[in-house]
Structure 1
Amino acid sequence: MVNLANVTTDILSKVTTTEMTTSHKMTAGEYEKIFFRIKLWKICHGYIMFILIVLGVVANILAFIILSRKSVRRTTIAVYLRALSLADTFVLITAFFRYNTYKLFLTEAQDTYTVLHYSAYLNTYVEPFHWIALGVSSFVTLTLSIERFLAIRYPLTIKRSCTPFLVRVCITGIVAIVVILTSPNFFSFRVQEFHITNTSSIYVRVMTKLGRDTLYPCSYHIYVIPLLWYILPWIILTSLNLLLYLQVRRSARIRVGLPNIPNPNRNLSILILLIVIIYMVCNFPISIMVFYKLVNHMSENGMCIKETTTLTSTTSKEFDIINAITEILNILNSCLNIVVYCMVGTKFRRQLRDFLFCTLCKPVNKVSPQRVFTTGRESNTVVESTGSS
């Protein structure tokens, strides 16, 4: 999936970005580490990531279709979950390019050509969309948890004030904030062409004057993503999850002795709890990782921090393995929500089963219309089928 062309581009990118003037001759140990990373990335970012992306995209599309059906689409929770499904779908699609999973389907020659001509464009213009989708997914999960806690704590107030329109406004605000925070990255880098010979050239991502002067890409990856995308939502969700769990337990104790009537609000709270728990479990390792980078400012050779480990970085093998696992878990979080819907949502399971087996598409036996004749007294009513002779 990755070959030595990556090394050439990576080194050249460092040179053009940081304007280094000293040459560095790679040792045998550094070459050995590069081949280890190639093998690790092929397994983690190739085979495992591809399976997760395919299954996750299909699952999120199915969830969006079911949650868009007339019987459920008007609820506020359905609006949140549809937005979450869309955000997770974009996370998975952009991850296909950000983690170079698409290179599984390329030959070595095609891989080399892609690295030298298209990778710079993907890194410059696709990766920011990946961070936007991740940010929207995190904040929608956080807002969903807050709304559910308030719905249990102040049910009458939330029932009157929280409408699907207000939820759409909140989601639009979330998208706008995330886009505003991420958009400077589109203008901090540009793709520059370097002519190797008269007939061949390569394309490298270099930092623009705006990026060098403001250092926004560094601040974005050192502070914005770790704090706002992972650490802060994880801390708030932990607190809300505990409070929501206590409220559910309290509600269960109050209903002791009452008739055995299903409590839809309790099931809905359990569904939100499970979604948040999955988010917390899958993002806990990456939260620790980004916090570690935040504290240690994982900069290499004084250059601007990168969001991924490069082939020529100085990190250890153990760090590379842990980093790959955290990235897989981060992507796994965008695949598992439909499992929660099926576990807890009886109505969702029924709708999904009808959709998959085309129950609603099957022809229904039509009952022939009937003509009713009366003899003047209601007790003497004759029903005649229009199809009878």
Structure 2
Amino acid sequence: MTSLNNKTTYLSKVMTTEMTSTNRLTAGDYEKIFFRIKLWKICHGYIMFILIVLGIVANILAFIILSRKSVRRTTIAVYLRALSLADTFVLITAFFRYNTYNLFLTEAQDTYMVLHYSAYLDIYVEPFHWIALGVSSFVTLTLSIERFLAIRYPLTIRRSCTPFLVRVCIIGIIAIVIILTLPNFFSFRVQKYHIANTSSLSVRVMTKLGRDTLYPCTYHVYIIPLLWYILPWILLATFNLLLFLQVRRSARIRVGLPNIPNPNRNLSILILLIVIIYMVCNLPISIMVFYKLVNHMSENGICIKETTSLSSPTSKEFDIINAVTEILNILNSCLNITVYCMVGTKFRRQLRDFLLCTSCKPVNKVSPQRVFTTGRESNTVVESTGSS
């Protein structure tokens, strides 16, 4: 990791390209820069890297287990596989979106990365992060709605909700999220500037399409806060409450019946826990984006993309809260496998067999025997089916 002093000096020089000659950095500004570098190193560096590695491994394991023949044909398994893939892409793109890769770069490599490739990552990788987050949110919402309808109208849903229909819904979700995000790829381009005739700097600048439509800032200021976080959170809270009430109602109906396990109830509990984790992890960021949305609408009518940088005027407390909300947002993509293991007995058993590679171990099978009679009951010949 780049030393704090050298990185501060370098980034301060880079920031001067965005500042006028009258803007000068004070001692307090430099203190904030030092603080933010330390904060980002801990939160976006070490903590984020651990979460990303563990989360990717967990989601890949969940996808493998949910793809096994015994469970892959159920509608819930289709949803959960899609959720695992979406969360995996969230974590992979977060590695670049939050610059976690800086942990593995030397000072020279980090400088070269900032000068030449950071703009490309902002234009072509960051939108994929928002696509993955949007798919994850809407798949979780659709899963909650489907489970509520399955409990409320079991016969209708059993006949109409098939794995094929679920795949169509997931493809529709992906298409809608991509369509909403696609204009961002054409709203920016990379502009190269030469510095002192010895080096060059690649900067992300807005294209004519971006300036004329203002779609990028509309996307970040309105679409992501409303559709990615606030609306899904409200709908999930509503359907989760309705699902909880239906589960309690079905439990009261079963009072007095024989003590037979109810797989539908366990499935509903699993969905409830997934949604609760989503709501807890995304509540802080939902409040944060709502605050930014209201603050933006009240202060000005011009669409300006909200950004956080080393020269941002925000307070230290705000920076800490913002970093915590981002960590929780990434944590949400790591925890679903714990729910599967807590509630899903079959999932837990198959995961154990996969990790122990039970199917890879040789099994000593006792060959079945054939009994041949010679016509008398007392005269028999016993022959193994495997003998020559």
TM-score normalized by the length of structure 2: 0.93
Q: Name the CA shift for 1:254/1:46 in 2 (closer, same or farther; >3 Å).
A: same
CA distance in 1, matches of 2:169, 2:13: 45
Q: Is 1:235 the equivalent of 2:234?
A: yes
Of 324-333 and 204-213, deviating more is 204-213
CA distance in 2, matches of 1:140, 1:271: 15
Q: Name the CA shift for 1:386/1:165 in 2 (closer, same or farther; >3 Å).
A: closer
Are the counterparts in 2 of residues 146 and 240 from structure 1 also a CA contact under 8 Å? yes
CA distance in 1, matches of 2:44, 2:80: 27
CA distance in 2, matches of 1:90, 1:162: 27
Of 299-308 and 335-344, deviating more is 299-308
Q: Is 1:263 the equivalent of 2:268?
A: no
- The structural deviation recorded for 1:370 is 3.6
1:275-286 to structure 2, matched below 5 A, reads 275-286=274-285
Of 190-199 and 332-341, deviating more is 190-199
Q: Name the CA shift for 1:150/1:116 in 2 (closer, same or farther; >3 Å).
A: same
Task: Report SS of the residue matched to 1:262.
Answer: coil
CA distance in 2, matches of 1:298, 1:204: 28
Identity of aligned residues (%): 87
**Aligned residue for 1:185?**
184
- The structural deviation recorded for 1:302 is 9.5
Task: Report SS of the residue matched to 2:227.
Answer: helix
Q: Is 1:226 the equivalent of 2:231?
A: no
Are the counterparts in 1 of residues 221 and 303 from structure 2 also a CA contact under 8 Å? no
Q: Is 1:357 the equivalent of 2:362?
A: no
**Aligned residue for 1:18?**
none
CA distance in 2, matches of 1:348, 1:185: 40
Are the counterparts in 1 of residues 374 and 380 from structure 2 also a CA contact under 8 Å? yes
**Aligned residue for 1:6?**
11
Q: Name the CA shift for 1:189/1:387 in 2 (closer, same or farther; >3 Å).
A: closer
CA distance in 1, matches of 2:257, 2:379: 47
Task: Report SS of the residue matched to 2:383.
Answer: strand
Unpaired runs of at least 5, structure 2: none
Task: Report SS of the residue matched to 1:193.
Answer: strand
- The structural deviation recorded for 1:304 is 5.6
**Aligned residue for 2:293?**
294
Are the counterparts in 1 of residues 89 and 132 from structure 2 also a CA contact under 8 Å? yes
Q: Name the CA shift for 1:300/1:113 in 2 (closer, same or farther; >3 Å).
A: farther
Q: Name the CA shift for 1:386/1:161 in 2 (closer, same or farther; >3 Å).
A: closer
RMSD, matched Cα:
2.3
**Aligned residue for 1:367?**
366
- Please give the per-residue CA displacement for 1:290-334, whole angstroms capped at 9, x wherever unaligned: 000100118999986445411111111111110000000000000
Of 62-71 and 373-382, deviating more is 373-382
Are the counterparts in 2 of residues 282 and 333 from structure 1 also a CA contact under 8 Å? yes
Unpaired runs of at least 5, structure 1: 16-20
Are the counterparts in 2 of residues 6 and 115 from structure 1 also a CA contact under 8 Å? no
Are the counterparts in 1 of residues 218 and 303 from structure 2 also a CA contact under 8 Å? no
Q: Name the CA shift for 1:84/1:308 in 2 (closer, same or farther; >3 Å).
A: farther
Task: Report SS of the residue matched to 2:72.
Answer: coil
Task: Report SS of the residue matched to 1:183.
Answer: helix
Q: Is 1:127 the equivalent of 2:132?
A: no
**Aligned residue for 2:215?**
216
Return the letter of the residue paired with 1:220.
Answer: Y
Q: Name the CA shift for 1:162/1:258 in 2 (closer, same or farther; >3 Å).
A: same
Task: Report SS of the residue matched to 1:112.
Answer: helix
Task: Report SS of the residue matched to 1:48.
Answer: helix
Return the letter of the residue paired with 2:11.
Answer: N
Q: Name the CA shift for 1:316/1:303 in 2 (closer, same or farther; >3 Å).
A: farther
Task: Report SS of the residue matched to 2:358.
Answer: coil
Q: Is 1:334 the equivalent of 2:333?
A: yes
Q: Is 1:60 the equivalent of 2:65?
A: no
- The structural deviation recorded for 1:9 is 3.5
Are the counterparts in 2 of residues 53 and 93 from structure 1 also a CA contact under 8 Å? yes
Are the counterparts in 1 of residues 72 and 78 from structure 2 also a CA contact under 8 Å? yes
**Aligned residue for 1:163?**
162
Are the counterparts in 2 of residues 98 and 122 from structure 1 also a CA contact under 8 Å? yes
- The structural deviation recorded for 1:366 is 2.8
Task: Report SS of the residue matched to 1:309.
Answer: coil
CA distance in 2, matches of 1:6, 1:98: 18
Return the letter of the residue paired with 2:150.
Answer: A
